[in-house]
């Protein structure tokens, strides 16, 4: 579960606990529920903004700094919902400060190798020329079971088949097999291949993506004409893409 998913689960739990407390204490349900609801909505959107500032990363890819920030955010967000007597700004101000601090730290890591190494760490070579680097494994507290499991995930069963294995700062293992153990490629066989590129999305959920049309040197008239050949209009199309071979793929709603 992601950090945002845990936060959502916490909102539901706090809301239910608060409602039960009101019933048992005989308080005004409508008034206190309204307080819980508007506080929850406000904190929810504020946390969305702060989490968005942290970037699109999974929990396993968070740096120690980001992970600590995520824990603090969860605690600060829960405070005003668990205790309605706590002023909202007691949570809002720290959340905003954390968001600004996260942005500043991100920019600092862009321009300073020292700070980047301090926050995110450095990649470590675990296997070099088919030999395990025990010193690096000890430094990373990385055991043989984890190493062998991650090698198997990459369809490698023999350590000797590995030229280099690098433990990245995200915790993932990058593996470079020996040249004799790599799959054949067209370059190995001297076969020339053409440029493939990426398919271009022209219509998604009935909406024409005009920017992609212009990037492909096409216009709306061309698209409507192609759709009309199949008796369709953009509003009736779930997905339309210009594939890498020039064909138009259309999936109706």
CA angle 57-37-91, nearest 5°? 55
Q: Where are the beta strands (DSSP E) in the chain?
A: 124-128, 131-132, 162-167, 173-177, 200-204, 207-208, 237-242, 248-252
- Give the other-Cβ count within 10 Å of 244's Cβ: 13
Fold match, 124-181 / 200-252: yes
| Element (DSSP H or E) covering residue 10 | helix 3-25
What sign does the CA torsion over 160, 161, 167, 170 have? negative
Question: Quick one: pLDDT band at residue 107, thresholds 50, 70, 90?
Answer: confident
Domain ranges of the chain: 3-116, 124-181, 200-252
Task: Give bridge partners of residue 66 from the DSSP assignment.
Answer: none
More confident residue, 50 or 200: 200
Choose which CATH entry (3.40.50.720, 3.90.170.10, 3.40.50.920, 3.30.240.20) describes domain 124-181.
3.30.240.20
More confident residue, 20 or 245: 245
pLDDT value at position 24? 45
- Looking at every residue in the chain, the average pLDDT score rounds to 80
Has domain 200-252 been given CATH number 3.30.240.20? yes
3-state class of 43 per DSSP? helix
Instruction: Answer yes or no: are the C-beta atoms of 209 and 203 closer than 8 Å.
Output: yes
Q: What mean pLDDT do residues 121-141 have?
A: 91
Residue 2 has pLDDT above 60, yes or no: no
Tens digit of each residue's pLDDT (9 = 90 or more) over 16-70: 555 544 444 444 556 667 777 777 788 888 888 777 776 656 555 666 677 777 7
| Element (DSSP H or E) covering residue 29 | helix 29-53
**CA–CA separation, 233 and 223 (whole Å):** 9
């Amino acid at each position: 579960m992601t950090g945002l998913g845990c936060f959502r689960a916490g909102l539901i739990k706090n809301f239910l606990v608060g409602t039960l407390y009101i019933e048992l204490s005989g308080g005004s349900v409508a008034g206190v529920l309204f307080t819980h609801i508007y506080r929850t909505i406000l904190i929810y959107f504020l946390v969305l903004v702060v989490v968005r500032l942290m970037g699109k990363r999974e929990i396993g890819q968070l740096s120690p700094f980001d992970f600590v920030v995520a824990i603090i955010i969860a605690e600060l967000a829960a405070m005003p919902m668990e205790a309605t007597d706590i002023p909202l700004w007691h949570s809002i101000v720290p959340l905003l400060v954390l968001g600004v601090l996260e942005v500043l730290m991100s920019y600092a890591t862009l321009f300073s190798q020292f700070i980047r190494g301090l926050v995110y760490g450095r990649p470590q070579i675990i296997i070099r020329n088919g030999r395990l680097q025990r010193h690096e494994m000890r430094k990373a507290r990385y055991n043989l079971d984890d190493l062998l499991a991650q090698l198997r995930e990459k369809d490698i069963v023999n350590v000797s088949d590995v030229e280099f294995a690098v433990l990245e700062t995200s915790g993932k293992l990058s593996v470079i097999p020996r040249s004799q153990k790599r799959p054949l490629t067209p370059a190995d066989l001297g076969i020339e291949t053409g440029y493939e590129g990426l398919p271009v999305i022209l219509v998604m959920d009935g909406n024409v993506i005009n920017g992609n049309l212009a990037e492909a040197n096409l216009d709306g008239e061309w698209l409507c004409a192609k759709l009309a050949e199949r008796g369709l209009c953009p509003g009736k199309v779930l997905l339309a893409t210009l594939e890498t071979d020039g064909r138009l793929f259309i999936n109706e709603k």
